[in-house]
Amino acid sequence: MKTRFDAIIIGGGILGVSIAYELAKAGLKNICVLERHYLASGSTGRCGGGFRQQWSTEPNTRLAMASVKRLEGIEAELGYQTEFFQGGYLIVAHSDEEVAQFRKNVAMQQRLGLDVKMVGPDQAREIVPHLDVSKIKMATWCPTDGHISPFLLTQAYANAAKRLGAEIHLWTTVTGLMKKSNTFFVMTDKGPYECNLLFNCAGSFARTIGSMINVDIPVDPYRHEILVTEPVERLWNPMVISFGIGLYTRQEKNGGVVMGMGDPNEPVGTCVGSSMHFMYEMSRRFTTLFPKLAGLRIVRQWAGLYEMTADAQPILGPVDEVENFYQASGFSGHGLMLAPAVSQLMAEQVTTGRTSIPIDDLHVRRLRGAQAVHREKSVV
Ligand SMILES: Cc1cc2nc3c(=O)[nH]c(=O)nc-3n(C[C@H](O)[C@H](O)[C@H](O)COP(=O)(O)OP(=O)(O)OC[C@H]3O[C@@H](n4cnc5c(N)ncnc54)[C@H](O)[C@@H]3O)c2cc1C
């Protein structure tokens, strides 16, 4: 088995496989992804599948817009069906404070060229007929947002990367890292590997990987629970988000309604067990916005990890301490939707030293020291 590569990527989630593909496409042929379990076994395979361009910070908005542009042609490029569906995102506001913040967001997003607008309760009801609009003041609406299957997108990138010569070694756990002159020695439970370029795409475990080579990557894992109901007739097309109530929900192609929520009481940790508390609380929140759908029956619930940074924006690019050690982590619950652009940018950075969208503001050094943190506000 080959163990000497030009580039090794730790993690076989959406970031790992999309970066493998973009590197191979950019001309690097000798690439390997190391994944301790199977593809999409981490957060990727547990996520809600949504992609949206409606953010409060410019870096996230730019990355998300570039990602959606990329996703629009992804099935043709990768030769794989992904259930890509632009059903839009409706984000509802419940208070005057939220309306004021949404107006600011929309002005910034429109300045960057996004097709997004504020809509009143009546228009919101036309878009999502089951919504109880007496609970909302306004909403924002972007018709080119949508959702996609995380499993199919991961497989699409992985197959395409392999066709270009990349290798993917599953059931291979990275246990230690060392660097001597220009060579990284990557210790695994299957023996040592070597490479010159190393990518940390370990998701919620990015901090652990960084610590193996004394680099602090401040990403903290938080459990995030989610459920799906029985399939029912088509109810609506978009993802609906309420930051005020703390939920997101969309309907799958087969009719199941997926819903998840943020829990401010969730401690840092890597537990991905399911809780009764979530099932009750999720049901309460959902029926607050959709009282007519109280009869929907839950068929499955599960949990995954949000990989949070202090400003809820990703950590991208090189680090100061170790040359050629690249980071793509800390997506704070939004990595699936940012991966299509981020993977391209990482390949650009490695092969040309520049990126077509600036990512300097997302360097890990912003999270160290006493600088003020400009936090992304649009997070459930
Ligand atoms: C409930 C839930 C809902 C979400 N909804 C959305 C959504 O709608 N839209 C969206 O864009 N994002 C969503 N997310 C976030 C999204 O899932 C993540 O941001 C994204 O999957 C991160 O991808 P990744 O490749 O960085 O990490 P992961 O998918 O976690 O991949 C990292 C991989 O690294 C591997 N690994 C870790 N340590 C090692 C090691 N030592 N050796 C080898 N391999 C290792 C892991 O096994 C894992 O497979 C959601 C997340 C959750 C939990």
pLDDT band, residue 252 (cuts 50/70/90): very high
For residue 112, the SS3 value is: coil
pTM above 0.95, yes or no: yes
Rounded Cα–Cα distance for residues 19 and 255 (Å): 32
Alpha-carbon distance values, 379 to 1, 23, 135, 354 (Å): 43, 30, 20, 29
Residue 37 alpha carbon, nearest atom of ligand 1: 47
CA separation for the pair 326, 316 (Å, rounded): 7
Q: Give the whole-angstrom CA distance, residue 344 versus residue 68.
A: 13
Burial 6-22 (b: 16+ CB within 10 A, else e): ebbbbbbbbbbbbbbbb
Distance in Å, CA 51 to ligand 1 centroid: 15
Instruction: Using CB atoms within 10 Å of the CB of residue 371, give its burial: 0 to 12 exposed, 13 to 18 middle, 19+ buried.
Output: exposed
Helices 150-163 and 14-25: crossing angle in degrees, nearest 10, is 30
pLDDT value at residue 371: 66
337 lines ligand 1 (CB under 6 A): yes
- Per the model's pLDDT, the better-predicted residue between 25 and 262 turns out to be 25
**C-alpha of residue 327 to centroid of ligand 1, in Å:** 14
- Which of 308, 332, 355 terminates a domain? The answer is 308
CA of 200 to the centre of ligand 1 (A): 12
> Amino acid letter at 181?
S
β-strand pairing of 239-242 with 315-317: unpaired
With CA atoms as reference, report the closest residue to 200 among 4, 11, 5, 7. Answer: 11
Amino acid symbol at 11: G
Residues 171 and 258 in one domain: no
Tally of domains within the chain = 2
pLDDT tens track for 267-310: 999 999 999 999 999 999 999 999 999 999 999 999 999 999 99
On whether both 28 and 171 belong to a single domain, the answer is yes
d(CA 8, CA 11): 10
- Percent share of the chain, pLDDT over 70: 99
Which of 259, 275, 308 is the endpoint of a domain? 308
CA 38 to ligand 1: nearest atom: 49
> pLDDT digit string (tens) for 155-200?
999 999 999 999 999 999 999 999 999 999 999 999 999 999 999 9
Q: What is the CATH number of the domain that holds 270?
A: 3.30.9.10
| 192 domain-assigned | yes
335-353: pLDDT as tens digits? 999 999 999 999 999 999 9
| Same-domain check for residues 172 and 235 | no
Cα distance between residue 308 and residue 333, in whole Å: 7
- Using the Cα atoms of residue 294, residue 298, residue 301 and residue 306 in order, give the sign of their dihedral: negative
Share of the chain above pLDDT 90, in %: 95
Q: Are 60 and 112 contacting, i.e. CB atoms less than 8 angstroms apart?
A: no
136 and 225 assigned to the same domain? yes
- H/E element, 139: strand 138-142
CA 303 to ligand 1: nearest atom: 1
Q: What is the pLDDT of residues 105-161, one digit of tens each?
A: 999 999 999 999 999 999 999 999 999 999 999 999 999 999 999 999 999 999 999
Instruction: Give the CA count within 13 Å in the CB-facing half-sphere of 200.
Output: 34
Q: What is the CATH number of the domain that holds 169?
A: 3.50.50.60
Q: How far is the CA of 130 from the centre of ligand 1 (A)?
A: 31
The identity of residue 90, as a single letter, is L
In whole angstroms, what is the distance from residue 248 CA to residue 230 CA? 17
Residue 285 lies in a domain: yes
Domain span at residue 127? 88-146+220-308
